[in-house]
Amino acid sequence: MHLPSSKHCRKLHESTMADPVLHPDTTNPLHHHQTQPLKEIAIDYTPEACSHCPNSNTITLTFDHRGGARWRTTTRFHYGTFSSLIQCPKGNTNGLNFNLYLSSLEGEKSQDEIDFEFLGKDRTIVQTNYFSGGNGNKEKIHHLGFDASDGFHEYVIKWSYDVIEWLIDGKVVRREEKKEGKGFPQKPMFLYASIWDASCIDNGRWAGKYDGSDAPYVCLYKDIHVPTSTAVK
């Protein structure tokens, strides 16, 4: 779940360029695609709450009185490795959701999706999930062993036609294999990230109830890499 209130969703797009130096991915034999620093992004809403610094390959998302913001890649990708260093917001983040995820199209009822989701009520855990044809309910909670706001940590999604791996700081925390007769993400997908008020989900039991006493809340992304060779034109 990544959609904030529709009143905030002004479809605005901005592009910026980044250093094109290649960063080869050799950590897993499932993925032989080269990854590259993210060259451009689109901002789906509240562009003034999202900044992209090309030289340092960093993106900042802010949640405050304006609401949150969401960025995505400008192209879809069909398999490969996606990574970012992330430092989550500090303070009382109850009610907020901040994330990194793949989706064939945000808001589409039949979307494929692969998620990392941070729940503001407890920054020492992260939730992973995946969807196929709009069917999810495959959530798992992972205990990080640290507060995700204390510093940068690496989050990686490795996705092939029959395997998904989620990695944190180089360690595989979850692996799912395609099973006969079961849905599995196969549509080309964008890389997304957002910060939004998720208080309404399950009456606040999922991410907590938004307090806002420490706003503005800033989520930082840096060293973002995508598998350019699998980009779908």
Cite the active site residues. Answer: 113, 117
Tokens of 189: 């997908």
* Alpha-carbon span 224 to 154, nearest angstrom: 10
Using CA atoms of 101, 194, 60, 63 in order, give the dihedral in degrees to the nearest 10: -160
Q: Are 151 and 127 in contact (CB under 8 A)?
A: no
d(CA 161, CA 204): 35
Residue 68: exposure state from Cβ atoms within 10 A (0-12, 13-18, ≥19): buried
Is the CB of residue 63 less than 8 Å from the CB of residue 50? no
